[in-house]
Amino acid sequence: MQSEEGSVRLVDVTKRFADVVAVDSLSLRVQPAEFLSLLGPSGCGKTTTLRMLAGFEEPTAGEIYISGQAVQGTPPHKRNVNTVFQHFALFPHMSVAENVAYGLRQKKEDKSQIASKVGEALEMVKMSPLANRKPRQLSGGQQQRVALARALVNRPSLLLLDEPLGALDRKLREEMQIELKLLQSQVGITFIFVTHDQGEALSMSDRIAVMLDGHVEQLADPDTIYDSPASAFVAGFIGQQNFFEGTARQQGSLVESDGWTIRSSNQSPDAVDGRPALAAIRPEAVQLLEEQPEDPVNSVPGTLAGISHLGDVIQFVVLTKGHKEILCRLPRPRAPKLEVGGDVWCTWEPDLVHVFDAQQAAVVLADPAATGTDG
Ligand SMILES: Nc1ncnc2c1ncn2[C@@H]1O[C@H](COP(=O)(O)OP(=O)(O)OP(=O)(O)O)[C@@H](O)[C@H]1O
Ligand SMILES: [Mg+2]
């Protein structure tokens, strides 16, 4: 039992609200002390999944186990689970320490116990020096720390976080991402972290569950999600892609697109010969040449239409004869000195090309809102 403390298992969990299927036969396992993110577009069922884990909602069908125990019908306060929300409501008239102590006081815990637990929790989030301040005397990041201390003070085996950094500005959010990850590895509590920011999920998680329409599209570590997306949706939602529409050939190892031949050395179980397919190539996988390469495979000619400086990387926009834009991003020291308006060839390695069936991909291309932002 000890070793299962903090584990989570969802088995075919479905949640319907009238005719809306918010969560659709979702199965998922989370290991004790794992940092797992639920990542996906608005409305894909992230919050509903968390609310079922916390006990605020009961599944319409399926089973949920926390620390190896079935939790059907167990009320929230008996689940040894805590939740931190984006809009964490601290009590404005109470000090930082009183806010953190609130739950323990409600449970009528021993005074000296409370004091030592609160002290420890404030230490964890580096808020001990500000223990006597009121919430309005704190910055947004400091308030979020207090909310975290409050959620951690009774040492839940599972902490659920619903976009907890969403209200913070970018720089503070990035700092808190690092701190939160560090804190999680120190306390050894399972974290399930909801976000629609792919950068946040990539930087913090042990594993990411990419969700779409109430189900999990792919569950894997960040490298696998980024480098080997299991579907066109995952490929397009995480980071940016150049998508080439065309026809699959040779068991999906080739896509013929607009007269070009794009070769992939990755297996494409999806792509059927002769059927519409989509090749995905990341901007950082594209190289630019000023002369035509000898091998016509994986080389697309165009005109350099734009150069933007993104700090440590330079982004080039190449326009093909068919008016397709190809994005290329190169680290500043490796970026060639090129003039806008000149002829260039885009090229890439076949192991950086992923091929998908075009039918599912249509969803990604038709709805740009479903595509993740860089944060
Ligand atoms: N109480 C409810 N009654 C009816 N429909 C609901 C209810 N709660 C959620 N839904 C619907 O279920 C779907 C999933 O909602 P959910 O809040 O889980 O999405 P989400 O992934 O958290 O989205 P966001 O990123 O916008 O927070 C949505 O279509 C939503 O409108
Ligand atoms: Mg939500």
How many Å apart are CA 281 and CA 263, to the nearest integer?
Answer: 11
According to the model, what pLDDT value does residue 367 have?
A: 52
Burial 86-102 (b: 16+ CB within 10 A, else e): bebebeeeebbbbbbbb
Nearest protein Cα to ligand 1, atom 2: 17
**pLDDT over 70 at 374, yes or no:** no
Nearest protein Cα to ligand 1, atom 13: 22
Structure tokens at 118: 């609160």
How buried is residue 107: exposed, middle or buried, by Cβ count under 10 Å (0-12/13-18/19+)?
exposed
Strands, E assignment, the chain:
8-17, 20-30, 35-39, 61-66, 69-70, 81-85, 158-162, 190-195, 207-212, 215-220, 242-249, 254-257, 260-263, 276-281, 287-289, 299-309, 313-319, 325-331, 343-347, 353-357
186 lines ligand 1 (CB under 6 A): no
252 lines ligand 1 (CB under 6 A): no
48 lines ligand 1 (CB under 6 A): yes
3-state DSSP call for residue 27? strand
According to the model, what pLDDT value does residue 6 have?
A: 95
3-state DSSP call for residue 322? coil
43 lines ligand 1 (CB under 6 A): yes
Chain segment 197-248, per-residue pLDDT in tens: 999 999 999 999 999 999 999 999 999 999 999 988 999 899 899 999 999 9
Residue type (1 letter), 189: I
* Interval 5-23 mean pLDDT: 97
How many Å apart are CA 67 and CA 30, to the nearest integer?
Answer: 10
Lowest model confidence (mean pLDDT) among 25-34, 56-65, 134-143, 351-360: 351-360
Our mutation pick for probing the ligand 1 site, out of 19, 24, 46, counting the most ligand atoms within 8 A of Cβ, is 46
How many Å apart are CA 72 and CA 49, to the nearest integer?
Answer: 14
Domains, the chain, in order of start with CATH, read 2-227 (3.40.50.300), 232-366 (2.40.50.140)
Using alpha carbons, select from 58, 86, 54 the residue that is nearest to residue 72.
58
Chain segment 256-311, per-residue pLDDT in tens: 888 889 999 988 777 788 888 999 999 999 999 999 998 888 999 999 999 999 98
